Amino acid sequence: MRFAPTVLTVSTVVAVVSVASAQDPAPKEKPVKATGDLSFVKTGGNTDVLSIGIGEKLTWQLSPRFMVKQQFGWIYGETDNTPSANALLTGIRGEYSLSKRVLAFVGFNYDYNLFAGVKRRFEEFTGLGFVAVDKPRDILRFDAGVSRFQEWAKYADTTYTFFAGRLVGDYKHLFAEKAYFQQIVEYLPNFKTSEDYRLNSETALVAPLSGGVAIKVGYLVRYRGLPPEGVKKTDTVFRTGIQITN
């Protein structure tokens, strides 16, 4: 079953964004920024359920050049007391600015998605980032690097280890200080098995309500060219809920 955001949901968010965009942003940098969200979730692909998701992101500016970013997200749902969705992603990343537009990064991710056939997966990655556009309301950034994956399939005891490339495009448009649209596209070519590439897309629209509270609507697509046997290639996640930022 496919699912699309209702016209009412999208219209409400767009209306709030339009009001917020009339406010002049007055950004003030904080050394530590924390964001948490609680969302209604609709998944499609290998799971087709309605559930609840939680997420959290932390950014810590340790020095003018060095920054640490941490993230956590979990989706879990049950149908008739039986798990019908169970996916987790957490990770940490360090960034060091080499110049105003170029940075180096290194990081680590851990995730599992039982209904997509992944019992657990580790990823270590490194590379360079380039800020192509850096304006008050528009930011466009590209990352290029390599990753090393260790993956355990749901019904296998062996470890699948491989190296992959990492190409990421990240565009963000600010309507106001805390109202924005963001689009991230990630391509991970598998150097060991070319057919087993990954392609991920994340779209988000955020509109502030009051203080640090905002409405967030997001749509995530994850594609795998060569999934485990019996697993679909594409998973989708639609989220709408409340986001809280310090």
Q: What is the pLDDT along the chain (246 residues), one digit of tens a residue?
A: 433 443 333 343 444 444 444 444 444 567 999 999 999 888 888 878 778 899 999 999 999 999 999 999 998 887 777 777 889 999 999 999 999 999 999 999 999 998 888 899 999 999 999 999 999 999 999 999 999 999 998 777 778 999 999 999 999 999 988 899 999 999 999 999 999 999 999 999 999 998 889 999 999 999 999 988 888 999 999 999 999 988
| Number of domains the chain is built from | 1
Q: Do 48 and 80 touch, CB atoms closer than 8 A? A: no
For residue 160, count CB atoms less than 10 angstroms from its CB and return exposed for 0-12, middle for 13-18, buried for 19 or more. Answer: middle
Does residue 2 lie in a domain region?
A: no
Does residue 1 lie in a domain region?
A: no
The tokens for 2 are: 């496919």
Does residue 114 lie in a domain region?
A: yes
Residue 211: domain span:
7-245
Does residue 72 lie in a domain region?
A: yes
Does residue 87 lie in a domain region?
A: yes
CATH number where 221 lies: 2.40.160.40
Does residue 227 lie in a domain region?
A: yes
- Name residue, tokens 């994340």: 202
Could you count the other beta carbons within 10 Å of the beta carbon of residue 240? 20
Does residue 99 lie in a domain region?
A: yes
Picking from 189, 209, 187, the residue whose alpha carbon sits closest to that of residue 197 is 189
DSSP 114: G
- State residue 26's pLDDT score: 43
Q: DSSP 3-state assignment of 85? A: strand
The overall pTM is greater than 0.85:
no
